[in-house]
Structure 1
């Protein structure tokens, strides 16, 4: 078993990235998008869009298989696992390609497919590594509770954010086909998908996404985006989530700036309505 060379992995990253670009992913903004965690960022990505092109989808699956063959070895694990439900878009065909049982785990802990997990060494296959909350709070505990063990995880896309720390804490070796790192942003700039200004912003965020977020919220454009979300009944919950779970230390600052810029508002009104 021989690990993939860095040159080969960069070529695989570029191929996967171009497959996403073909489907107009990732999507970027000059301001920010609200994430489920309450944090904010300048882009979001839907990795399952590669299914829109059969050839790209097949290559995505084969790329995951290549990583698993090289980094784990097909004789060193017993089953492929994936979580409800987008993981299955990748884990199911990977299990077929590697001729391994497929363990499908639901968010409520129910297991379908290969249900005999006891003693199994499981390679987890997922569409996206984001905050790492799903694998940390759902998939990893479920496999453990059924006396199995996740020995490796392969993501199609890795945002290189809090999910990286989660994998380290769980001590699970992992890799991805398309890490959204500085190399990825440089590739996108080189093909004209993003400009140099956005490239610089993305690289700054890689260094410290918390500082990036606070700096963004302190700009006029960032504040306007917050007010836009807060003023719409359909998105007000997302705006509140940013201050409750994302950046609670900015509550008074945001309330003060909104009061000066738009209308008088207290922190309580900002958080509770």
Structure 2
């Protein structure tokens, strides 16, 4: 972690970018599993409301691949000027990049659809580097100083990819790395706000990409959060057990709290569907 990581940890919790569940009330995940925390790194844009507003703008504009980067950059720059947390985070990320990577070796900065753009476009502007906007279908455009053009040949140029978070690096493998390599470029570095510590760094190393993260999601992080008074002892215990063995710890929780699944099945539609998925897959072998 870098020098000002305590501030970053505070911002993650202040904006609900990391949410820890109340005691004995784990969150339902899309996969049908349950767990003690949620991560929405893009909430560091200032708040959930602000982040959702930017996502709506992106969804409305992304069909026009040439105007989208300009409009998203304009929006993020305005927020950079007005939101203290977002501005401080972007400044910290920019300093972090300068401290860990030789900027003179970076020819382009890239970001992938959609949440990477919360960070990559404005940082490219601050570092005075052309930005490669990568779409999910691997279409890509270069933008700088209000000019946008489709990527043709990158001629062996070096690219720094900036993302909101990395889990297993599946988006890198599926789209971001091939989108750049297919055009003759090389993603040499990756900088993310959050590394979920689920193997992404190792995957990137297989592609000769050097991986950097502002903060890693591990027990040390939550130990610090506990000492900072932002979670309780009971919340920390659940997280600690989960990190040691996600499946066994949550299976044990469900056996000790038999009403939890029944309550989920009588809850809102989203929760109900996730609970049904868990039962259909027999994820916890109850």
Q: Which bin holds the TM-score, normalised by the shorter protein?
A: 0.7 to 0.9
1:12–1:178 Cα contact (<8 Å) kept: no
CA deviations on 1:211-245 (whole Å, 9 max, x unpaired) are: 3343334432xx5443444445443432344466x
SS of residue matched to 1:138: helix
* Counterpart mapping for 1:22-171 below 5 A: 22-29=14-21, 30-52=24-46, 54-114=83-143, 115-116=150-151, 118=154, 119-171=156-208
CA RMSD of aligned residues (A): 2.6
Q: 2:261 aligns with which of 219, 226, 230?
A: 226
List alignment gaps of at least 5 residues for structure 1. 1-5, 255-273
Greater mean alpha carbon deviation, residues 171-180 or residues 231-240: 231-240
Query: Residue 121 and residue 66 in structure 1: after superposition, are their counterparts in 2 closer, same or farther (change >3 A)?
Result: same
Greater displacement, 112-121 / 16-25: 112-121
Report matched runs for 1:152-191 at 5 Å. 152-191=189-228
Q: How many angstroms apart in 2 are the aligned matches of 1:56 and 1:233?
A: 34
Give 3-state SS (helix, strand or coil) of 2:187's partner.
strand
What's the counterpart of residue 13 of structure 2? 21
2: CA distance between counterparts of 1:33 and 1:165? 28
Alpha-carbon distance in structure 1 between the residues aligned to 2:184 and 2:243? 36
Change (3 A) 1:219 1:173: farther
Query: 1:26·1:45 contact (CA, 8 Å) conserved in 2?
Result: yes
Q: Equivalents in 2 of 1:40, 1:113: separation in Å? A: 40
Taking the aligned partners of 2:221 and 2:105, their CA distance within structure 1 comes to: 31
Question: What is the CA–CA distance in structure 1 between the aligned matches of 2:141 and 2:222, rounded to whole Å?
Answer: 38
Structure 2 Cα separation of the partners of residues 147 and 226 of structure 1? 51
Q: Deviations over 1:134-184 (max 9, x none)?
A: 222222222222222211111112222343454344442212222222332
Cα distance in 2, alignment partners of residues 224 and 138 from structure 1: 42
Contact 1:40 1:213 in 2 (8 A): yes
**Given the two structures, how large is their TM-score scaled by the length of structure 1?**
0.76
CA contact (8 A) 2:106 2:159 kept: yes
